[in-house]
């Protein structure tokens, strides 16, 4: 068994020695450099762009303004295309815009011989604006008379969906019910992947070639073609090693503009690389979602009725749009079933940064709201948070009607058992009751809900190709991208397992090239081991069958009497090695009568989805006078089904926990209310958490193999980022008695809330 | 790629002074961790630079015959933290500069740059204020010594005159002898941070440890430039050490500080923290001097502090510079990559 082994990742040595080439490493150093003129108004119409001075700067090759680009719009979301227009993403983008919708929107682009000339020219461009009123707050933007961002969306509402179950209004009339109500607010945050967005493009052979740091090569190619209005086959996209994406690169960023710019300079090579500041301002962010939750419970805690209003701040353009907020809302009735529910979600345009996909896709937000609210219920009723959740959480055997997802195992109890034992929950919970003094400790926990892949909302299609070499080794090709998470290593393990060849004999083609790589929708929705796993198994089983049929010619044994084990063709009846795969591959390829290059390709469509659940327990120390929280200990427990590579799984959890600690305590994009300008779009003022802000990060697992999955796996990419914020919040609540209703719980907020509570 | 129009490399201090006279508009660059960021941001784009980084004579810590500790202006933060003279006599300075940025910044950033940058948040500055440090400047007319409090003119402006470069920081013997100090840096995270507030307290106790004979408190970010809590220091000279003393000091410093209200931190929060930090830094400095005011009493003292060095090890960090920029102007948007501090940028801004 190669599944379940912590094999070192196949790209480890190349990455740590610097041999792995990322987009910027590969770009020819003679490339022209493109820089963008960003708007210095939050909402405005561009009246004129004066490039006279900019054009005089030595080294400037070409300046393209918002008046020079195609007028048709295109969508950017990294979703599978839909041939049904009703299910297509909102096409609201131009390559450059004369209707500025956020501070920093793209007005013009300079192409120059080098970065210095390009930067000087950008500074020399003069833009004349007619300024419009702007709006940053999601609920303000919904009001009548609020500044309108897009004509087709009155009151800025991109979408509104709802859930109705039972009869909420009737149910709350039951005498003796206790009402628990709370507002919970989450911030706009950025992914902060280490490699900024970067791409380069040139024309060759009448086609546009683009190399880009993207999670989604085939989708980005499609969007480039749509944006430029050319046939999809006219565009080729190559994805080299990627330094992280976390969903930001599950969107077309500047690839369409860069592809357009090369066509404006005779097909010369043009590079467009975002600075860190541009990654904050001009790439994507996590939706800030505000929740209003009302629960009606009996004195024993039984949920009778629940109402949830969710307000999602979309920022200036649709990008991934309503799917993010809707996903979170849809989890509420599943997570804690309740007979009477009214849930509403609104996704609303504002003049903030454009929100798109980000690790967890709406779930860190709703997890903070719902798990904080659950502890608020426990506190009001004097119930133990673990015991209460055991009683009220989704029961074993629960089936979601829409996705057909089923909770097959007693996952929630199992993960809570593990987490509580590790952190010594019961004892510490008692010990930390009724503290006084400046420095206090507390312990808290939270659960989380997640699913796997995007079926049945969108297409799930993965193509897999295996090509055998003369030595019996295999190239594995998938469009499901390695972006740092270790997917290639897991894919190699799966291939080796099913095909029956040694791990070392699997060569994963880590770079995707849309000219060569078979179609797949790539890295998002924590779908890689689940979706690609199915395609790998499908392809490997078919390939094995074919190989054994070919082997029949040379071994004269019936295919059903043979198998491939450890790279050998064996006879299953007695285990005898009949020939090696290397012998077979070479013999067949060079067969003078009947040559064949052994290959297999399959397209596998998924029509299933899988739950992936877990929990977090956190212990904190709060220094009240210093308005400071320190996480002393923290554990995530995940049931991600079978682990393909436990060490990689653990690393994935560590990364998510780190992200979640920043979400809980420090990260927030701040806006100037007067201008709408982002105040802290850099890594100094945006307080990404550092290793010094983390305690030891404990990652544990419960492995209930997922029955619908080819290798028993389900999602683990995004879930680690979900539960820490409410667990930390609930720990602070225990320590101080202060119930925080927003993240991040940074010192500013601690100061305000502690002062209000009379603790300072 | 940086937008630099010319760079002149000084071969000696005399040569640096000559270059300064020849190119009065040029900006001095040492480690570059501030200057290069400003060039990248466009604020100093196209600048002429005079590099003094090669002047090895300006590196290192020595003690003169009169007991003055001399820190060459190009001495890096990591050097200062590890230097035996610093550790023995003014350990708090090594601890304070160990909170700057991250390890790479501390290896390239210099104490001269940190002070010439003129920012109120510099981790070295509040501590040097508390030590009554003296800044040594070398110019066409020779050497000029300026008390550090006078060296800082206003936010981002220091007293470097035409043709001068800063060559050393001096701590006279009477400033350090018998004193112990503690620095607390307040940040929004525990590494890679600039101070939201810095507080450095030096104390000297009587031999019987019952009387506070001298108190010096330096603050960063409690005003446009680093400052001393003079009225508090005067009020608490030669007073008996009591359990109430730390809180009294904490309250008293409010008369000496004038922090700003900004999006980085509201004024009332900074004022609150001025009190708490002065109190706690005093407790720790007194403890280092041999008096543990509270023992291990729960809920008091400094079991952990945001950004304090305590319990955080050598990789701890902290960022500097830009609170000063904030005091100068609000236009510090798009600042920096996250790495900032320390470098000499006297040049254009010096008077």
Confidence of residue B331 (pLDDT cuts 50, 70, 90): very low
B333 near A CB under 8 A? yes
Closest-CA residue of chain B to A683: B338
- pLDDT at site B293: 83
pLDDT above 50 for B53: yes
Q: Residue A37 in contact with residue A109, Cβ under 8 Å?
A: yes
B265 near A CB under 8 A? yes
Residue B42: which of A119, A623, A760 has the nearest Cβ?
A: A119
Cβ neighbours of A27 (radius 10 Å): 20
Angle B187-B188-B194 (CA atoms, 0-180°, nearest 5)? 45
For residues B208-222, one letter each, b for 16 or more C-beta atoms within 10 angstroms of the residue's C-beta and e for the rest, the string is eeeebeebbbbbbbb
Instruction: Name the residue among A205, A477, A180 with its Cα closest to residue A336.
Output: A180
What distance in Å separates residue A223's CA from the closest CA in chain B?
A: 30
Residue B191: which of A116, A685, A690 has the nearest Cβ?
A: A690
Interface size, chain A vs chain B, as Cβ–Cβ contacts under 8 Å: 115
Quote the radius of gyration of chain A (alpha carbons, Å).
27
Q: Residue A315 in contact with residue A354, Cβ under 8 Å?
A: yes
Q: Residue B135 in contact with residue B72, Cβ under 8 Å?
A: no
- The answer to whether B335 contacts A116, with C-beta atoms less than 8 Å apart, is no
What distance in Å separates residue B167's CA from the closest CA in chain A?
A: 29
What distance in Å separates residue B216's CA from the closest CA in chain A?
A: 22
What distance in Å separates residue A276's CA from the closest CA in chain B?
A: 7
Closest-CA residue of chain B to A276: B337
Q: Which residues of A touch B265 (CB under 8 A)?
A: 747-748
H-assigned helices in B42-180: 77-82, 84-89, 91-97, 103-108, 111-116, 123-130, 148-151, 173-176
B11 near A CB under 8 A? no
Q: Residue A333 in contact with residue A298, Cβ under 8 Å?
A: no
CA distances (Å), origin A67, targets A48, A109, A315: 9, 11, 23
**Average pLDDT value for residue range B281-299:** 80
- pLDDT at site B333: 32
- The answer to whether B273 contacts A626, with C-beta atoms less than 8 Å apart, is yes
As annotated, the residues of chain B forming the CATH 3.30.43.10 domain(s) are: 4-51
- pLDDT at site B268: 97
What distance in Å separates residue B6's CA from the closest CA in chain A?
A: 14
> Is A316 in a helix, a strand, or coil?
coil
pLDDT tens digits, residue range B169-196? 999 999 999 999 999 999 999 999 999 9
**Measured in whole angstroms, how far is the alpha carbon of residue A748 from the centre of its chain?**
29
Global ipTM: 0.94
At which residue do the structure tokens 């005011």 appear?
Answer: B293
- The answer to whether B190 contacts A672, with C-beta atoms less than 8 Å apart, is no
Mutation site, A121, A621, A663, A684, interface B, largest B CB count within 10 A: A684
Q: At residue A373, what are phi and psi to the nearest 5 degrees? A: -60, -40
Considering the segment(s) B179-309 as one domain, its CATH architecture is: 2-Layer Sandwich (3.30)
Residue A626: which of B268, B300, B305 has the nearest Cβ?
A: B305
Residue A684: which of B196, B273, B336 has the nearest Cβ?
A: B336
Q: Residue A3 in contact with residue A494, Cβ under 8 Å?
A: yes
- pLDDT at site A517: 98
**Measured in whole angstroms, how far is the alpha carbon of residue A559 from the centre of its chain?**
44
- The answer to whether A677 contacts B315, with C-beta atoms less than 8 Å apart, is no
Q: Which two tokens stand for residue A297?
A: 């419970």
Q: Which residues are CB-neighbours of A558 under 8 A, at least 6 positions away? A: A552
Q: Which residues are CB-neighbours of A87 under 8 A, at least 6 positions away? A: none
Mutation site, A121, A438, A682, A688, interface B, largest B CB count within 10 A: A682
CA distances (Å), origin A625, targets A182, A628, A736, B220, B256: 26, 8, 12, 19, 20
The whole-angstrom separation of Cα B346 and Cα B110 is: 13
Q: Which two tokens stand for residue A8?
A: 């070192």
- The answer to whether A684 contacts B272, with C-beta atoms less than 8 Å apart, is no
Angle A52-A106-A198 (CA atoms, 0-180°, nearest 5)? 110
Taking 70 as the pLDDT cut, the residues of chain A under it are none
Q: Residue A670 in contact with residue A680, Cβ under 8 Å?
A: yes
Residue B269: which of A680, A687, A751 has the nearest Cβ?
A: A751
Angle A708-A713-A716 (CA atoms, 0-180°, nearest 5)? 130
pLDDT above 70 for B345: no
Q: Residue A557 in contact with residue A578, Cβ under 8 Å?
A: yes
Four-way CATH pick for B4-51: 2.40.50.140, 3.90.1150.10, 3.40.50.970, 3.30.43.10: 3.30.43.10
Q: Which residues of B touch A683 (CB under 8 A)?
A: 192, 336-338
- The upper half-sphere exposure of residue B158, i.e. CA atoms within 13 Å in the direction of its Cβ, equals 28
Q: Residue A257 in contact with residue A263, Cβ under 8 Å?
A: no
Mutation site, B33, B42, B186, B192, interface A, largest A CB count within 10 A: B192
Mutation site, A628, A667, A736, interface B, largest B CB count within 10 A: A628
Q: At residue B347, what are phi and psi to the nearest 5 degrees? A: 15, -110
Instruction: Name the residue among A746, A748, A743, A738 with its Cα closest to residue A721.
Output: A743
Q: Give rounded-to-5 percent helix, strand, coil for chain B.
A: 35, 25, 45
Q: Which residues of A touch B336 (CB under 8 A)?
A: 682-684
The whole-angstrom separation of Cα B52 and Cα B45 is: 19
B192 near A CB under 8 A? yes
As annotated, the residues of chain B forming the CATH 3.30.390.50 domain(s) are: 179-309
State the DSSP code for A659: H
Q: Residue B225 in contact with residue B118, Cβ under 8 Å?
A: yes
The whole-angstrom separation of Cα A396 and Cα A406 is: 8
Q: Which two tokens stand for residue A151?
A: 């004509």
Q: For the residues of B302-338, what is the DSSP string, one character each?
A: -S--TT-STTS-TT--BB-STHHHHHH-S--TT--SS
Q: Which uninterrupted H or E stretch holds A191?
A: none
Instruction: Name the residue among B322, B281, B350 with its Cα closest to residue B135.
Output: B350
What distance in Å separates residue B268's CA from the closest CA in chain A?
A: 9
What distance in Å separates residue B136's CA from the closest CA in chain A?
A: 31
Instruction: Name the residue among A668, A661, A666, A663 with its Cα closest to residue A634.
Output: A661
Residue B334: which of A436, A682, A748 has the nearest Cβ?
A: A682
pLDDT tens digits, residue range B19-43? 999 999 999 999 999 999 999 998 9
The whole-angstrom separation of Cα A159 and Cα A322 is: 6
Give me the CATH code for the B56-174 domain, please.
3.30.465.10
Instruction: Name the residue among B125, B121, B170 with its Cα closest to residue B145.
Output: B170
- pLDDT at site B295: 61
- The answer to whether B304 contacts A625, with C-beta atoms less than 8 Å apart, is no
Q: In what order do the strands lie in the sheet with A99-100?
A: A99-100, A44-50, A126-131
- The answer to whether A439 contacts B336, with C-beta atoms less than 8 Å apart, is no
- pLDDT at site B350: 32
The whole-angstrom separation of Cα A508 and Cα B34 is: 44
The whole-angstrom separation of Cα A49 and Cα A71 is: 17
> What count of residues does chain B have?
351
H-assigned helices in B196-266: 230-235, 245-252
Q: Which residues of B touch A123 (CB under 8 A)?
A: 42, 45
Q: In what order do the strands lie in the sheet with A439-448?
A: A439-448, A613-623, A628-639, A697-701
pLDDT tens digits, residue range B212-226? 999 999 999 999 999
As annotated, the residues of chain B forming the CATH 3.30.465.10 domain(s) are: 56-174
Q: Which residues of B touch A276 (CB under 8 A)?
A: 337-338
The whole-angstrom separation of Cα B30 and Cα B53 is: 5
The whole-angstrom separation of Cα B204 and Cα B215 is: 7
pLDDT above 50 for B307: no
β-bridge mates for residue B276, sequence order: none
pLDDT above 90 for B315: no
- pLDDT at site B294: 79
pLDDT above 70 for B301: no
- The answer to whether A677 contacts B191, with C-beta atoms less than 8 Å apart, is no
- pLDDT at site A510: 97
The whole-angstrom separation of Cα A732 and Cα A432 is: 11
């Amino acid at each position: 068994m190669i599944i379940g082994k912590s094999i070192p990742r196949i790209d480890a040595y190349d990455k740590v020695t610097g041999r792995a080439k990322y987009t910027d490493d590969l770009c020819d150093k003679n490339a022209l450099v493109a820089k963008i003129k960003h708007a210095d108004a939050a909402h405005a119409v561009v009246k004129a762009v004066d490039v006279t001075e900019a054009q005089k700067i030595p080294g400037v090759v070409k300046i393209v303004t918002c008046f020079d680009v195609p007028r048709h719009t295109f969508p950017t979301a990294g979703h599978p295309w839909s041939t049904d227009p009703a299910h297509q993403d909102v096409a609201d983008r131009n390559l450059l815009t004369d209707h500025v919708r956020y501070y920093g929107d793209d007005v013009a682009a300079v192409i120059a011989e080098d970065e210095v000339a390009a930067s000087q020219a950008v500074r020399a461009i003069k833009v004349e604006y007619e300024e419009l009123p702007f709006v940053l707050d999601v609920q303000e933007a919904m009001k009548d008379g609020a500044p309108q961002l897009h004509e087709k969306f009155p009151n800025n509402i991109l979408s509104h969906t709802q859930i109705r179950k039972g009869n909420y209004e009737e149910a709350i009339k039951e005498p003796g019910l206790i009402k628990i109500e709370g507002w919970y607010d989450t911030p706009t945050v950025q992914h902060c992947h280490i490699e900024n967005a970067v791409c380069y493009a040139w024309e060759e052979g009448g086609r546009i070639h683009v190399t880009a740091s993207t999670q989604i090569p085939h989708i980005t190619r499609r969007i480039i073609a749509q944006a430029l209005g050319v046939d999809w086959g006219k565009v080729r996209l190559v994805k080299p090693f990627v330094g992280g994406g976390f969903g930001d690169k599950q969107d077309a960023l500047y690839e369409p503009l860069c592809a357009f710019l090369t066509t404006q300079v005779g097909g010369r090579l043009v590079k467009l690389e975002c600075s860190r500041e541009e990654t904050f301002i001009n790439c994507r962010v996590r939706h800030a979602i505000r929740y209003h939750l009302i629960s009606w419970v009996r004195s024993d805690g039984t949920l009778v009725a629940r109402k949830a209003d969710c307000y999602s701040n979309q920022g200036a353009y649709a990008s991934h749009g309503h799917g993010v907020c809707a996903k979170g809302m849809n989890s509420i009735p599943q997570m804690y079933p309740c007979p009477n529910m009214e849930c509403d979600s609104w996704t609303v345009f504002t003049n903030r940064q454009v929100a798109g996909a980000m690790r967890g896709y709406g779930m860190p937000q709703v997890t903070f709201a719902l798990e904080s609210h659950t502890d608020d219920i426990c506190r009001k009723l004097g119930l133990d948070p673990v015991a209460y959740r055991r009683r009220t959480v989704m029961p074993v055997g629960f089936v979601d009607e829409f996705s057909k997802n089923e909770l097959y195992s007693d996952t929630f109890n199992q993960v809570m058992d593990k987490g509580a034992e590790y952190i010594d929950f019961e004892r510490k919970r008692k010990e930390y009751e009724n503290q006084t003094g400046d420095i206090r400790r507390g312990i808290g926990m939270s659960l989380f809900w997640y699913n796997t892949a995007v079926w049945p909302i969108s297409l799930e299609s993965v193509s897999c190709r295996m090509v055998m070499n003369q030595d019996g080794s295999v190239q594995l090709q998938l469009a499901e991208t390695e972006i740092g998470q270790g997917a290639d290593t897991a894919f190699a393990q799966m291939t080796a397992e099913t095909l029956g060849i040694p791990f070392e004999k699997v060569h994963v083609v880590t770079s995707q090239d849309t000219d060569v790589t078979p179609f797949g929708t790539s890295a998002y929705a924590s779908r890689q081991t689940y979706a690609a796993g199915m395609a790998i198994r499908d392809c490997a089983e078919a390939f094995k069958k074919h190989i054994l049929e070919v082997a029949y010619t040379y071994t004269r044994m019936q295919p059903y009497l043979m198998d491939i084990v450890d790279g050998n063709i064996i006879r299953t009846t007695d285990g005898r090695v009949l020939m090696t795969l290397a012998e077979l591959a070479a013999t067949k390829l060079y067969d003078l009568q009947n040559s064949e290059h052994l290959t297999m390709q399959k397209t596998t469509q998924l029509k299933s989805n899988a739950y992936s659940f877990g929990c977090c327990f956190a212990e904190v120390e709060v220094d009240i006078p210093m308005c400071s929280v320190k996480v002393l200990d923290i554990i995530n427990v995940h049931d991600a089904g079978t682990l393909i590579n436990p060490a990689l799984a653990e690393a994935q959890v560590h990364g998510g926990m780190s992200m979640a600690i920043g979400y809980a305590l420090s990260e927030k994009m701040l806006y100037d209310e007067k201008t709408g300008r982002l105040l802290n779009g850099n890594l100094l003022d945006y307080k990404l958490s550092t290793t010094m802000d983390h305690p030891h990060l404990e990652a544990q697992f419960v492995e209930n193999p997922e029955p619908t999955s080819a290798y028993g796996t389900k999602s683990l990419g995004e879930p680690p980022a979900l539960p820490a914020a409410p667990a930390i919040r609930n720990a602070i609540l225990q320590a101080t008695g202060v119930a925080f209703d927003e993240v991040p719980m940074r010192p500013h907020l601690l100061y305000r809330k502690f002062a209000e509570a009379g603790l300072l | 790629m940086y937008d630099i129009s010319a760079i002149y490399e000084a071969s000696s201090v005399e040569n640096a002074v000559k270059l300064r006279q020849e190119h009065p508009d040029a900006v001095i660059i040492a480690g570059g961790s501030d200057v290069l960021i400003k060039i990248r941001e466009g604020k100093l784009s196209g600048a002429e630079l005079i590099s003094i980084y090669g002047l090895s004579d300006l590196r290192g810590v020595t003690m003169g015959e009169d007991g003055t500790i001399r820190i060459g202006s190009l001495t890096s933060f990591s050097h200062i933290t590890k230097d035996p003279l610093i550790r023995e006599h003014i350990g708090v300075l090594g601890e304070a500069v160990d909170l700057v940025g991250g390890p790479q910044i501390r290896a390239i950033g210099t104490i001269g740059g940190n002070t010439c940058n003129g920012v109120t948040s510099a981790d070295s500055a509040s501590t040097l204020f508390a030590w009554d440090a003296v800044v040594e400047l070398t110019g066409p007319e020779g050497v000029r010594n300026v008390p550090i409090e006078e060296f800082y003119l206003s936010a981002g402006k220091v007293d470097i005159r035409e043709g001068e470069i800063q060559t050393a920081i001096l701590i006279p013997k009477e400033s350090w002898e018998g004193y112990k100090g503690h620095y607390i840096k307040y940040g929004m995270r525990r590494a890679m941070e600039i101070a939201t507030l810095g507080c450095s307290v030096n104390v000297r106790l009587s031999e019987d440890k019952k009387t506070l004979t001298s108190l010096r408190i330096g603050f960063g970010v409690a005003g446009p430039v680093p400052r001393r809590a003079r009225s508090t220091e005067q009020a608490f000279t030669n007073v008996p050490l009591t359990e109430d003393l730390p809180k009294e000091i904490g309250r008293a410093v409010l008369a000496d500080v004038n922090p700003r209200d900004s999006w980085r931190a509201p004024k009332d929060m900074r004022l609150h923290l001025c009190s708490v930090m002065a109190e706690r830094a005093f407790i720790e400095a007194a403890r280092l001097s041999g008096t543990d005011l509270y023992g291990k009493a729960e809920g008091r003292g400094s079991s952990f502090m945001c950004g304090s060095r305590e319990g955080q090890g050598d990789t701890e960090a902290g960022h500097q510079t830009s609170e000063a920029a904030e005091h100068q102007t609000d236009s510090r948007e798009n600042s920096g990559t996250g790495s900032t501090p320390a470098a000499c940028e006297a040049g254009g801004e010096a008077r």
